[in-house]
Amino acid sequence: MLSNTLLEFTAAAVWEMAARFSVSLQGIWPETLKLNLNNTMNYELDHQDIRDGVKQLCTDFPGEYWRKCDREQTYPQEFVQALTDSGYLGALIPEEYGGSGLSLSAGAAILETIHHEGCNAAACHAQMYTMGTVLRHGSDAQKEKYLPGIASGNLRLQAFGVTEPTSGTDTTALRTTAVRRGNDFIINGQKIWTSRAEYSDLMLLLCRTMPRDQVQKRTDGLSVLLVDMGQCPKGSLTIRPIRTMMNHATTEVFFDDMPVPQESLIGEEGKGFRYILSGMNAERILIASECIGDAKWFIEKASAYASERSIFGRPIGQNQGVQFPIAKAYAQMRSAELMLREAIRLYEAGENPGEEANMAKMLAADASWAAGEACLQTHGGFGFAEEYDIERKYREARLYQVAPISTNLILSYLAEHVLGMPRSY
Ligand SMILES: Cc1cc2nc3c(=O)[nH]c(=O)nc-3n(C[C@H](O)[C@H](O)[C@H](O)COP(=O)(O)OP(=O)(O)OC[C@H]3O[C@@H](n4cnc5c(N)ncnc54)[C@H](O)[C@@H]3O)c2cc1C
């Protein structure tokens, strides 16, 4: 096995010889494998300028900032504001509505970098993908009314109300109803895990406008409303925070005869499930990017510590029992990242990357979890100390095995829709 120093020496020597004899290394090593000996992960990535900018922004939000938010379970307001002011949060909003009009790959680069730098985008990531539902299916009037405010940060679209306590993963079994009365829809029901509802002006709400026993397909009869929560009469909307194992600002939300103007309907009544589904590929891709960032953070921390920490008179990273789990997590992360790139490529080509986006999310969540395990184990007892940030990141990374979609449901999707096996539920 090559030691780090020998590997670096070998790589440096190859590059030096290539430069001296004007030999192009293209074809010897893939284009993306340009070595930068200062980095542990030395391959080229897209949107380097955006990554550099986000990295710079994140330096204002070090571990201590996140530890404090985590300890006190407070919303990282300053971080979200900085992301908004810099334009990164509105990156995907078209320029005509005041955003930067960037591609999904740029959004992925932004979220990955935030997580790679030890920060957490969960406080605001939903805005990037929920906004897509308004953009694709909202009316011109709705887009003009809301998107410029979202881009400038005057309005926040952070709340996404789909999951309910009794229906869970079985979305079409949801019970929250919207019934037309005069110029309004009257909403009754309950959502759970509606993250960031307390810090959002708007909520994208999925509810039943036609009872399930009166529709041909169970996916019919669901509608999406863009609810301006500030306009809801007192007492009709109750938001209760749920304390969780990580700082996620998640809540349960109760609707009690809550009137919402009919102009809040997105697209056609009864077709809401399709509208929500149409945003799922972007959601999977963006969450996978965060997991890749988490995995990189864990892997860098683990490999640095393994090289520095000396026990029994030598670095612990000299033991294969310590280095192999980190190396394996790296391999997992790289393969997940390749799948993610493929999902993004298809998405940006206008195709439907349902298979690739789901696989990318699952593989990236698995890679970040494997990396978290390796990182915690490598740090021994110190991994459990708050000031190392590892236990916090570990708790945060665990979520992505369950939300926004659980691993089992991705496997069911692959089994049924890709491999043609019978539907299991
Ligand atoms: C911190 C947090 C934030 C969240 N934020 C939001 C949000 O902002 N908006 C929102 O709408 N939702 C949100 N969610 C909800 C999240 O999407 C759900 O928790 C997730 O979809 C799983 O639903 P459930 O918790 O009801 O689990 P259940 O549906 O009860 O499932 C429980 C377990 O059983 C498994 N399971 C269920 N059915 C099957 C099956 N047929 N085959 C195999 N396994 C199965 C699941 O994989 C899961 O592991 C959030 C959740 C959390 C924890």
- Per-residue pLDDT of the chain in tens (425 residues, 90 and over written 9): 334 444 444 444 444 444 444 444 333 333 333 333 345 788 999 999 999 999 999 999 999 999 999 999 999 999 999 999 999 999 999 999 999 999 999 999 999 999 999 999 999 999 999 999 999 999 999 999 999 999 999 999 999 999 999 999 999 999 999 999 999 999 999 999 999 999 999 999 999 999 999 999 999 999 999 999 999 999 999 999 999 999 999 999 999 999 999 999 999 999 999 999 999 999 999 999 999 999 999 999 999 999 999 999 999 999 999 999 999 999 999 999 999 999 999 999 999 999 999 999 999 999 999 999 999 999 999 999 999 999 999 999 999 999 999 999 999 999 999 999 999 99
Asked, for residue 39, whether it belongs to a domain, the answer is no
CB 266 within 8 A of CB 134: yes
Asked, for residue 367, whether it belongs to a domain, the answer is yes
- If asked whether residues 105 and 175 sit together in one domain, one would say no
Asked, for residue 132, whether it belongs to a domain, the answer is yes
Query: What is the predicted pLDDT for the residue at 39?
Result: 55
Residue 360 identity (one-letter amino acid): A
- If asked whether residues 409 and 355 sit together in one domain, one would say yes
Examine the fold and report which residue of 126, 152, 178 is the final residue of a domain before the chain moves on.
152
- If asked whether residues 80 and 121 sit together in one domain, one would say yes
Name the one residue in this structure whose structure tokens are 């916090």. 392
- If asked whether residues 375 and 287 sit together in one domain, one would say yes
Examine the fold and report which residue of 152, 185, 200 is the final residue of a domain before the chain moves on.
152
Query: What is the predicted pLDDT for the residue at 209?
Result: 98
| Atom 22 of ligand 1, nearest CA residue | 169
- If asked whether residues 145 and 176 sit together in one domain, one would say no
- If asked whether residues 60 and 148 sit together in one domain, one would say yes
Assign residue 383 the CATH number of its domain: 1.20.140.10
Name the one residue in this structure whose structure tokens are 């369950």. 402
Report whether residue 124 contacts ligand 1, using a CB cutoff of 6 Å: no
Asked, for residue 408, whether it belongs to a domain, the answer is yes
Report whether residue 125 contacts ligand 1, using a CB cutoff of 6 Å: no
Number of other residues whose CB lies within 10 A of the CB of residue 370? 23
Q: How many domains does the chain have?
A: 3
Asked, for residue 5, whether it belongs to a domain, the answer is no
Assign residue 61 the CATH number of its domain: 1.10.540.10
Best residue for ligand 1 mutational test, from 120, 125, 273, 402 (most atoms within 8 Å of Cβ): 402
- If asked whether residues 395 and 286 sit together in one domain, one would say yes
- If asked whether residues 339 and 390 sit together in one domain, one would say yes
How far away, in angstroms, is 254 Cα from ligand 1 center? 19
Asked, for residue 33, whether it belongs to a domain, the answer is no
How far away, in angstroms, is 165 Cα from ligand 1 center? 10
Examine the fold and report which residue of 276, 294, 327 is the final residue of a domain before the chain moves on.
276
Report whether residue 402 contacts ligand 1, using a CB cutoff of 6 Å: yes
How far away, in angstroms, is 218 Cα from ligand 1 center? 19
Report whether residue 158 contacts ligand 1, using a CB cutoff of 6 Å: no
Report whether residue 248 contacts ligand 1, using a CB cutoff of 6 Å: yes
CB 372 within 8 A of CB 393: yes
| Atom 25 of ligand 1, nearest CA residue | 168
Query: What is the predicted pLDDT for the residue at 41?
Result: 85
What b/e readout covers 148-173, taking b as 16+ CB neighbours within 10 angstroms? bbbbbbebbbbbbbbbbeeeeeebbe
Report whether residue 162 contacts ligand 1, using a CB cutoff of 6 Å: yes
- If asked whether residues 261 and 168 sit together in one domain, one would say yes
CA angle 347, 352, 357 (to 5 degrees): 70
Best residue for ligand 1 mutational test, from 156, 191, 193 (most atoms within 8 Å of Cβ): 193
Report whether residue 193 contacts ligand 1, using a CB cutoff of 6 Å: yes
How far away, in angstroms, is 163 Cα from ligand 1 center? 8
- If asked whether residues 377 and 317 sit together in one domain, one would say yes
Report whether residue 160 contacts ligand 1, using a CB cutoff of 6 Å: yes
**Which atom of ligand 1 is least distant from the CA of 246?**
1
Asked, for residue 15, whether it belongs to a domain, the answer is no
Report whether residue 219 contacts ligand 1, using a CB cutoff of 6 Å: no
| Atom 2 of ligand 1, nearest CA residue | 193
Best residue for ligand 1 mutational test, from 406, 414, 421 (most atoms within 8 Å of Cβ): 406
| Atom 9 of ligand 1, nearest CA residue | 194
Closest CA to 53 of 132, 106, 131: 106
- If asked whether residues 302 and 399 sit together in one domain, one would say yes
**Which atom of ligand 1 is least distant from the CA of 206?**
11
Please give the distance of CA 58 from its chain centroid, rounded to a whole number. Answer: 17
What b/e readout covers 222-252, taking b as 16+ CB neighbours within 10 angstroms? bbbbbbbbeebeeebbebeeeeeebbbbbbb
Number of other residues whose CB lies within 10 A of the CB of residue 363? 22
Report whether residue 82 contacts ligand 1, using a CB cutoff of 6 Å: no
Phi, psi (rounded to 5 degrees) for 326: -70, -45
Asked, for residue 244, whether it belongs to a domain, the answer is yes
345: containing domain: 279-418
- CA dist list (Å): 73 to 66, 153, 191, 242: 10, 22, 21, 10
Assign residue 272 the CATH number of its domain: 2.40.110.10
- If asked whether residues 370 and 331 sit together in one domain, one would say yes
